[in-house]
A and B are shown apart, each in its own frame.
Chain A
């Protein structure tokens, strides 16, 4: 590694790392919820990665390595400074929350189709953005980037069990938030219990 010339490092960086700018940007947008912050975050990530690229082990997962750098910068520098402890009523949401709720809807003939066809891109992005940061990071890395539980654990420095439980809770919160949205906008009528 150490004997790589600067030109070679630059060539390899452009070939192996620059191709991940699009996915980094996608995740940065969901993490920061802000276009200009997300561009700064991606740029900072790429420059830091470049400075350390001679230490990057050839043949290993470059995408995961870049995401690890970005997640670290985000956690240290970008996440909201005054994070109030969040009390989340997870117990109110059971495991099959959305599936169970939609099954009880009688007001339309096919509530699942109704649900999926009336919710748009921005609604989903807003719901993802509304997740608490700890859950949001894990959900975005899994859903949008398709990283495995182990890769997410490596990227976020969390235990794999913590990754699984955050992903599980994040999924439930996302379902709850989209369900509330559907009720609020009246295209699904809340079933009477």
Chain B
């Protein structure tokens, strides 16, 4: 191993990311080369230095108390629907607060709806129009349902994905029949994955990019050819390259 090769592995070693073989090779080199050893020591100290200086005071007790208080509210909100309150002034206060919340939520959803209609819907229409929407199935074994109905067997062994499936249906997009799987993964936005007959799927990776001064999230996917942009809180991915063989097409659309 020469100095250049050792330098390439240097940060992997400092970040505890190198394999045993690499580590041994680099260590061997460092023992022989004073310059690289000095460099390694320096980078190691630099990291420790940043970690020490970048530390911060811990979260305030108030914040933790606030969070616990809000958890109580969430817990309580789950019970509100099932219990009937006797009339009292405090109930009236709660009721007015609740109506205010309902109004604000209404306004929020209206603005979201407006944004969806003006910005997202045209894009979807152009690229991701669902021609036939299958009836959504929610049950104990959505994947069995999908297999029975279409013969599509999802090639997925990730228990996190399998457990987070909330509904399954069959949709047709651009003349191709897809298994449509809705997921809510790890507290993220709900996702829909469209799986083709081959059962392949991939959740594309996302990356921020600025295009014409606007912030977009660009989706990329190496297993499937797709383009997709997220603007604001909406996320969409289109299958807009008809030359792709249907068995390779996997598309995703998701939004809050």
Contacts and interface: CB of A to CB of B under 8 A. Distances in A.
Interface string B170-213: 00000000000000101111000000000000000111101001
B45 interface: yes
Given A65-B186, A96-B7, A174 B74 contact: no
Interface string B106-129: 000000000000000000000000
A51 B74 contact: yes
Interface string B37-79: 0110011011101110111101110011011101100110010
B184 A21 contact: no
A51 B77 CA distance: 12
Dominant SS among interface residues on chain B: helix
Interface stretch (B85-93, B148-156, B157-165, B242-250): B157-165
B71 A21 contact: no
Contacts of B188: 68-69, 72
Given A47-B74, A81-B215, A134-B208, A99 B43 contact: yes
Contacts of B189: 72
A174 B45 CA distance: 14
Contacts of B215: 79, 81-83
A149 B17 contact: yes
Interface of B: 7, 11, 15-17, 38-39, 42-43, 45-47, 49-51, 53-56, 58-60, 63-64, 66-68, 70-71, 74-75, 78, 159-160, 163-164, 184, 186-189, 205-208, 210, 213, 215, 217, 233
Contacts of B54: 30, 121, 124-125, 128, 140, 143-144
Contact of B163 (A29, A55, A84, A171): A55
A98 B159 CA distance: 45
A25 B56 contact: yes
Nearest to B62: A39
B195 to A, nearest CB: 20
A49 B47 contact: no
Given A51-B187, A69-B187, A149-B17, A85 B210 contact: yes
Contact of A144 (B51, B64, B159): B51
20 contacts: A18-B67, A21-B59, A21-B63, A56-B186, A56-B187, A82-B215, A85-B210, A99-B42, A116-B45, A121-B53, A124-B53, A128-B50, A128-B54, A142-B15, A143-B47, A144-B54, A148-B16, A148-B17, A157-B206, A162-B207
